[in-house]
Amino acid sequence: MKYRNVILLNLGIMIFLCFMIMGCSQKQSGQILRLSHGLDITHPVHKAMVYMGERLNEYSGGSLKIQIYPGNQLGNERESLELLQIGSLAMTKVSANTLEGFVPEFRIFNLPYIFTGDDHRFRVLDSDLGKELLLKGVSGRFMGLCYYDAGSRSFYTKKTPIHGPEDLKGLKIRVMGSPTAIEMVNTMGGSATPISWGELYTALQQGIVDGAENNPPSFYTSRHYEVCKYYSLDEHTSVPDVLVMSTAVWNELSDEQKQWVKRAADDSADYQKILWQEATEDALRELKAYGVTIYHPDKTRFQKQVEILYEKYEEDSILGDMIREIRALE
């Protein structure tokens, strides 16, 4: 009996020590915020997120950290956003295209030529309107922390270049699953075909679609240039990426921790703008080296083709006032 009591005592001590070690380890490692996205680790947004983690670690003295899961490890954008809504994920990066299905106001970014240029776009994102948009998802259990620059989207094709809207006629063009993006391409004369990003390379190879549309870094890093040799910089839309956070996780943070997270996110957004500009220049240079012909078509021809969309959207109960606010910031 005495021997058995000694064993139980030793076992109890071991269990106690294990809990102590686990507690100390957790205290040393700090609270972990899990962040998921679908991009490659060479992408400017991923690098900006790494920088955000470094800044947050500094601001919090190591008590609050970010663990990043790139390359769709935890699911695509929509799946990650759903994990975030139930609090299983702290943060994720989604395109404003994806948010359109959750927050109707984000349709504004899919309107063609809504911005007159980069300066105008940045003024809008930094304005009260841009800040209000970040909070529109709160009822859906997520909130935006900042915008990441995703440049402008343009058409790239396999067999024929796009000089004007008439060249899109009869072509199946891959778009994201955004009703607004689909309507835009169809209005321009193409046949919009929603396909997931991960399946697009094969779809281009097999001729399921004749082309797609995206910004230069994404066209380059996806290696779609191996299939598509024509890139027409019509720059029809400028759809930002949005760093969003679960309100369930956000509400568990102290006021001080919230300030650290927001400050680190803002730092990363500023840093990402620099990285994005560099990545765009590098991508265009590399695309030329790989035999892609780059065109600079007359944008006014595309703008005229989609004027009919604005006749409808200006009367939209959600988008109408937003369009007028954006134009006032030109």
Q: Domain tally for the chain? A: 2
Give the SS3 label for residue 130: helix
Tell me: the pLDDT tens digits for 285-319? 999 999 999 999 999 999 999 999 998 999 999 99
pLDDT of residue 178: 85
Q: Do 127 and 48 share a structural domain?
A: yes
Q: Do 60 and 139 share a structural domain?
A: yes
Paired strand residues for 69: 36
pLDDT tier for residue 76 given thresholds of 50, 70 and 90:
confident
Residue with tokens 């024509």: 230
> Nearest to residue 325, comparing CAs of 123, 101, 100?
123
Composition of the chain by helix, strand, coil, percent to 5: 55, 20, 30
Q: Do 168 and 48 share a structural domain?
A: no
Any residues with CB less than 8 A from the CB of 262 and at least 6 apart, and which? 145
Q: Do 289 and 261 share a structural domain?
A: no
> Nearest to residue 99, comparing CAs of 8, 181, 158?
181
Domain that holds residue 220: 153-238+284-328
Tell me: the pLDDT tens digits for 236-259? 999 999 999 999 999 999 999 999
Q: How confident is the prediction for the chain on average, in pLDDT? A: 90
Any residues with CB less than 8 A from the CB of 35 and at least 6 apart, and which? 49, 66, 67, 68, 69, 89, 90, 91, 92, 93
Q: Do 206 and 89 share a structural domain?
A: no
| CA–CA distance, 251 with 258 (Å, rounded to integer) | 9
| CA–CA distance, 67 with 249 (Å, rounded to integer) | 14
pLDDT of residue 70: 94
Could you tell me where the DSSP H helices lie in the chain? 2-29, 44-59, 77-85, 96-99, 118-126, 128-134, 179-188, 197-205, 216-221, 247-250, 255-289, 299-305, 307-313, 319-328
For the chain, percent of residues with pLDDT exceeding 70: 91
Q: Do 166 and 226 share a structural domain?
A: yes
Q: Do 173 and 223 share a structural domain?
A: yes
Cβ(81)–Cβ(92) below 8 Å: yes
Q: Do 194 and 299 share a structural domain?
A: yes
Q: Give the mean model confidence (pLDDT) for residues 253-269.
A: 98
Paired strand residues for 294: 231
Q: Do 176 and 91 share a structural domain?
A: no
Both tokens of 266, joined, read 């803002």
**For the domain that residue 177 is a member of, what is the CATH number?**
3.40.190.170
Both tokens of 166, joined, read 């008439």
Task: Report the interhelical angle of 44-59 vs 255-289 (nearest 10°).
Answer: 150
Q: Is residue 67 pLDDT above 90, yes or no?
A: yes
Both tokens of 200, joined, read 């697009």
Which CB contacts under 8 angstroms, 24+ apart, belong to 262-267?
262/145, 263/55, 263/59, 264/52, 264/53, 264/55, 264/56, 264/59, 265/52, 265/145, 265/146, 266/146, 267/51, 267/52, 267/55
Q: Do 180 and 84 share a structural domain?
A: no
Tell me: the pLDDT tens digits for 165-218? 999 999 999 998 888 899 999 999 999 999 988 899 999 999 999 999 999 999
Q: Do 251 and 232 share a structural domain?
A: no
| CA–CA distance, 220 with 256 (Å, rounded to integer) | 40
Q: Do 115 and 74 share a structural domain?
A: yes
